[in-house]
Each structure stands twice: as structure tokens, then as C-alpha cells.
Amino acid sequence: MHFESKSAAALKKSSRYRSRSLSASSNDSYSSASYTGSSSDEDDVSPREKLQKSSSGFSDFCVKNISQHAFGRREIEIAEQEMPGIMALRRRAGDDKPLKSAKIVGCTHINAQTAVLVETLVELGAQVRWAACNIYSTQNEVAAALAEAGYPVFAWRGETEEDFWWCIDKCVNAEGWQPNMILDDGGDATHLMLKKYPAMFKMIKGIVEESVTGVHRLYQLSKAGKLSVPAMNVNDSVTKTKFDNLYSCRESIIDSLKRTTDMMFGGKQVVLCGYGEVGKGCCQALKGLGCVVYVTEIDPICAIQACMDGFRVVKLNEVVRNVDIVVTATGNKNVVTREHMDKMKSGCVICNMGHSNTEIDVNSLRTPDLTWEKVRSQVDHVIWPDGKRIVLLAEGRLVNLSCSSLPSFVVSITAATQALALIELFNAPHGRYKSDVYLLPKKMDEYVASLHLPTFDAHLTELSDEQAKYMGLNKAGPFKPNYYRY
């Protein structure tokens, strides 16, 4: 779903910008994009037309309403409590200042949790300029808190497309500022710098990218020989992926269904389409609450895993008439079709946990014979001529990103991964990384996990010299080969 304002079209014409896609980059970082309630904003005046000044007279920022900063600061403090890993990194590396003289252009969601990352990077010695990677996800009060603390932040909820690029531009191109690192979520800061400021781009030491789409673009650039700097794909770090896909979804599927439908889970029949990481997490949670869970799969390995875990593997058609809930988590399209939905019983709830919003063929429900009734935010009843109604959540978009909040702990994992990737690229001796896309070294991935262990009072066993020798391992890690499947 592409949309483009007139001014953006003009901008595009002049400098070949990509248009913003609501369904693309900005929403595909599971671990920092989330529904976040924000205080209502009282006026329609564009922040670009307002006088921007903090209480100390600082004015190198553009936010919706600087006077909301105290509220934003409290939000950041709450997030800090549940982000032990990134806070530990802040304490451990604060004296060493591993990011001293790093000048980072950041383009991520701007919410309380990412603010903890921004402040950590500064604590580690970096200078930053920050814009939002999504026009809707900024928590205005948090942006205000960052501006009040003296960080150049350019973001507000409900930016136009033109504002969006203007904000990123303000972070890239400022007087006396030559950035040397990019922290991107969706590839937009990278894209703008590469296209509009190629000389500046050449001075970049490294790019850290979080999202699926951004990483995909980096690989494409690299393939086309246009990537002139090293880039780190943090999206596929093992620790982060486990949290995004398995552990986080295990919790948020329940949260999403509860918040939208107030349902009781015990005894409900659920079919989970796809038994990958996301599907496994969802099944585990639903089973734990007493649901009868069925799984559909195309892959015999995942199917046998589902069997071993005690789930019945079925074809959707075999159970679709009886189930109370249908969840898709395949990453595929048209997994639930109109034909399936025609067979569902009245009251059946359908939602999607996968990336694409075409897993459920929602378009097939937009026919004259069916009536849509919005019953709540993110909840539609679709009513058949005979009175049967199915409950469609978030119109088939990712239900947890649309309807639940994201645990700060999950963002702590991502943020610590991003910070370590920046430190690694910034401090790497010349030649360690070429102009290519890399995964975070496993040792650092292990370090991210270890930063979070003290929260659980978890005590790691150390290898003895004899054991290390026997296993052919360094006592400090890495403990697994790269091909190990966790």
C-alpha cells in the first residue's frame, strides 16, 4: 500500500527518493515496533512551524511538544527497569567509552525503549542525531524527553511523508557534522545518505541494520557492488531472533487475543498455521492455557516436531469447521482463504502473526454479500448473510504489533545487539570488515545473552581447562560453531 503526498512526489522527482510504504521497512522490526499509546496531541500545527527550544535554550531538534518531556522521562525510566542488558552494558562500558568520537545517524522507532538505547550510546561516548523510521510510531513525549536532555531528535507521531525525509535529512546533514556510523531500521537513512550525500556516505565506517527489509536492501546493494562500507545484519543474530520470534510471540499472542476479545482460552480449539519459531511459541502458550491445539505445516521436519510436542498435524480443511481460533504464522500468502472462512463457525476468531498481511485473504471478505462491523479498535466482525460472524483481528496485519505491547526486555536484547554491533564496526581494525554484510560475531551474540542472565540470577558453568581442551573450545567462547541450530 503505497501512498505519496504531493510534496513528497515533488521531492521524489528532484532527488529520486523511495516512497514510504506503510507495509514495508518501518514495520518489520518486530522487536522495536509496537503499538504504544501516546498522549493525545492538542494541536494541528506542524512541529516544523513551531519554535523549538528546551528549557536550557537548546534548539537543534524538532518534536511535537517539548513541554511533554517530564512525562517522557518517566516512560524512559520505566523502560530502563525492564532493560537489564543494555543498562548493564551502559555500566560496564561507560568508563571505556568504546564509542568515543563515533557520530551516529540513528533512524529507528522512537519510543521509551529505543530512548534507552540512544542514551546508552551517548553514555558510551557517541554523538548522535536521531529520526524516526516510521511516521506513526513515535512516542511524542519520549522524543520531547530526548530533546530536553540535549539530543538532536527530529520526530513526531503523524509525520507526513515529506516531514519523514526532512527529519532524516536533518540528522544526516547538519553544520559541522560528518557522521561516521548509521544505525538504521528499514534502510531509509542509509538510502538517503547514499543517494543524496554520496561523498558523506564514503566516510561512514559502518552500518548497523535491524529490519528484514533493510537487511535485504543491504544484500542487494552489496550484490550490485554499490555497498562501499561494511554493514552488520543484527536482524539475524541468534539471541535477537529467538526473542523476536519464539519468546516474544509466545507471550504476545495471548496478550493480543485477550485484549481484543476478552476470551477465555481453556478448552478452546485452536489451529496454528505454520510450526516455525513463531508458531512454536504460539502453540506453547496456547497449550499452556488449556487450548486444544492443531498445527498445519508444509514441511515434514516442522510437522514431526509438532507431533513430538504433542500437537495434531492436520490440513486446515479438516478442522476449520470446529475451531474457535485460527492463527497464521507462515510468512506465506493465502493460507486462510475465503473458502476456509465460509466454513468457519460463527464466532471464530482469525488473526495473523506472520510478516505479510496476505496470509489471511482479507480482500476476499470485501464482497457485497458480507457486512463488516467494527466492534472495537482492531476488531471487525464480518457477517455472512445467514447471520454467522467471524471475528477478524487487525484486518489480518500482524496482530501482536497491532494489538499488544512489546516487552521492554525483548527490546533490551535488540538494543544490546545493536550497541555491540556499532562498537564492533567502529573499533574494528582496518581490513577486518570489507564492504559487505556481516552477522554479529557469535562471541558478541553470546555476550548479549550473558548481559541478561543476572536478571534471573542464572549462574553459568565454566569450562575446566581439561574440558575446554577436550571440546576444542576457548573457555571464553564462542561455544558453538556458526552452523549450530539452537
Q: Is 317 assigned to a binding site?
A: no
The interface mask with ligand NAD, positions 323-362, x = CB under 6 A, is ------xxxx--x-----------------xxx-------
Q: How far is the CB of 348 from ligand NAD (least distance, A)?
A: 18
Fill in the DSSP letter of residue 17.
Answer: P
CB within 8 Å of 82: residues ≥ 6 apart: 407, 408, 409, 412
- Residue 349: its H or E element: strand 349-352
Q: Is 354 left (phi over 0), alpha (psi -120 to 50) or beta?
A: beta
Q: How many residues bind ligand NAD (CB under 6 A)?
A: 26
Based on the shown chain and the rule CB under 6 A, indicate whether residue 302 belongs to the binding site for ligand NAD.
yes
Residue 61, φ and ψ in degrees, nearest 5: -165, 170
Number of residue whose CB is nearest ligand NAD: 276
What residues between 4 and 33 interact with ligand NAD by CB under 6 A? 30
Residue 245 CB, shortest distance to ligand NAD, in Å, is 4
Closest CB to ligand NAD among 127 and 414?
A: 414
Dihedral sign for Cα atoms in the order 32, 38, 44, 49: negative
Choice from 275, 311, 426, 433 touching ligand NAD (CB under 6 A):
275
Determine whether the annotation assigns residue 400 to a binding site.
yes
For 274-302, letters b (16+ CB in 10 Å) and e give bbbbbbbbbbbbbbeeebbbbbbbeeeeb
Beta-strand relationship, 371-376 and 127-132:
unpaired
- Which residue, 300 or 310, is less far from ligand NAD as judged by CB? 300
The yes or no reply on residue 320 touching ligand NAD (CB under 6 A) is no
277 in a known ligand binding site: yes
**Judged by CB under 6 A, which of 32, 68, 213, 245 binds ligand NAD?**
245
Sign of the alpha-carbon dihedral angle for 62, 63, 66, 72? negative
Distance of closest approach, residue 257 Cβ to ligand NAD, in angstroms: 13
Residue 186 in contact with ligand NAD, rule: CB under 6 A: no
Q: Which amino acid is at 122?
A: V
CB closer to ligand NAD, 135 vs 327: 327
Q: Which residue has the cell 460463527?
A: 346
Convert 99-126 into a string of H (helix), E (strand) and C (coil). CCCCEEEEEECCCHHHHHHHHHHHHCCC
Q: Which of residues 67-126 bind ligand NAD (CB under 6 A)?
A: none
Known binding site: residues?
276-281, 297, 400
Known binding site for NAD(+): residues?
276-281, 297, 400
For ligand NAD, the binding residues (CB under 6 A) are 30, 244-245, 249, 273-279, 296-299, 302, 329-332, 335, 353-355, 398, 400
